[in-house]
Amino acid sequence: MSAKRRFTKVLGLAAAGAFALGLAACSPAADGPDEPGGDDLTTIGFVAVGPEGAWREANEQNIQDTFTKDAGFDLKYAPATNLDQKSQIDAFTSFVDEGVDVILLSATEATGWEDSLKRAQEAEIPVILLDRGIEPNDTDLYVTRIAPDNIEVSKSVANWALEAFPDGGNYFVLEGPAGVSVVNERNEGWDEVIGGESSFVKVGAQTANWSTEEAKSVFETVLKSNNNDIQLVFAQNDEMGLGAVQAVEEAGLVPGVDVKIATIDGTKSALQALADGKLSFVAEYNPLFGETALDVVSTILDGGSVESYIIVPSETFDSPEAAATALPDRKF
């Protein structure tokens, strides 16, 4: 394990264009034998979510592919057991006791992290949040959060809906699991745009736990109970949107015509469904930020500082043509 554990906390939020690492210019410490690529490996504890769909698989694989031994790192990957927060807290505690150099945290739940983060702080182990934030958002307890901006991403979906339905319509929201920060943020962005539009009627919202099968079951019930009178679905991830497509088809309706479905993530399967006309809008939530995390780790261990929120840029796709163009180069 590297003996170096020097880092500086910086205040403030990253601007929307700060993906180019959002790194503040600071004078790094002199290179030593424990620099990445040196004689010793820098030990990274990765408290991960684990299996949860195509987006999560791409994100966590990207992190593992980035923090390799060839790059000078010993990455200890600890996925949650059945998305259980206790297993994450146990892994986090073990990493602190072990004395790793840095902890990367993708939290299964937003709350309940204060004691763990304080323990890491006392041990002078910097913590970097990947994707999901924490509540309360005490930026004194972690170095930075690296993620796309969920509020802005969901606003892009809502603004598309305003254009697609100039006269409004009935809509339903398929949500991720309760208590997850990205779910709260995606609801916030959507509601900020659509909430004040009287022509849009919210039929309801229900979690489908990011699952295609659950979303299909949920939306089948919703369609039946509303006599198929729903024009729009906002699915907070691609898998749930694809489940809604199945429910619409089994109801004898045409997705993209009778019911428009918008999703967030931008995986290959969603872009293919958009190219095929089954989805109507896909907002990317870019999972490939391993290189940003790598630069952040190197900067803080060199004594530099970073912004407290580094926003990962993401695209939107509003037509079959746009999706078809993007598909050949899609990496997740």
**Each residue's pLDDT tens digit, 249-266:** 999 999 999 999 999 999
C-alpha to C-alpha distances, 7 to 75, 260, 294, 296, nearest whole angstrom: 19, 48, 14, 11
CB proximity list for 127: less than 8 A, separation 6 or greater: 102, 103, 104, 105, 117, 120, 121, 141, 142, 143
Q: What is the pTM of this model?
A: 0.84
User: Which residue do the tokens 């006269």 mark?
Assistant: 167
Question: Percent of the chain, pLDDT > 90?
Answer: 82
List, for residues 67-103, the tens digit of each pLDDT value. 999 999 999 999 999 989 999 999 999 999 999 999 9
pLDDT band at 39 (very low <50, low <70, confident <90, very high): low
The ranges assigned to domains in the chain are: 42-148+286-313, 150-285
Which of these, 301, 306, 305, lies nearest to 31 by C-alpha position? 301
Give the mean model confidence (pLDDT) for residues 130-134: 94
Phi, psi of 329 (to 5 degrees): -100, 5
Residue 159 has what pLDDT? Answer: 98
Q: Which helix (H) or strand (E) holds 234?
A: strand 232-235
Which of these, 227, 267, 221, 275, lies nearest to 244 by C-alpha position? 221
Phi, psi of 27 (to 5 degrees): -85, 115
C-alpha to C-alpha distances, 53 to 48, 165, 211, 269, nearest whole angstrom: 13, 30, 8, 11
pLDDT band at 196 (very low <50, low <70, confident <90, very high): confident
User: Which residue do the tokens 């010793």 mark?
Assistant: 40
Between 32-36, 86-90, 240-244, 281-285, the lowest mean confidence (pLDDT) is in 32-36
User: Which residue do the tokens 């934030």 mark?
Assistant: 133
List, for residues 264-308, the tens digit of each pLDDT value. 999 999 999 999 999 999 999 999 999 999 999 999 999 999 999
The whole-chain average pLDDT of the chain stands at 89
Strands (E), 9-131: 42-48, 73-79, 102-105, 127-130
Give the mean model confidence (pLDDT) for residues 154-159: 98
pLDDT band at 179 (very low <50, low <70, confident <90, very high): confident
Q: Which amino acid is at 162?
A: L
Residue 9 has what pLDDT? Answer: 39
Identify the CATH homologous superfamily for domain 42-148+286-313.
Response regulator (3.40.50.2300)
Domain 42-148+286-313 and domain 150-285, same fold? Reply is yes
H helices of 251-319, where?
Answer: 268-275, 290-301
Residue 317 has what pLDDT? Answer: 98
For residue 330, pLDDT beyond 50: yes
Cβ–Cβ under 8 Å, residues 187 and 154: yes
CATH for 150-285 is 3.40.50.2300
For residue 7, pLDDT beyond 50: no
Q: Cα–Cα distance between 99 and 101 in angstroms, integer?
A: 6
CB proximity list for 70: less than 8 A, separation 6 or greater: none
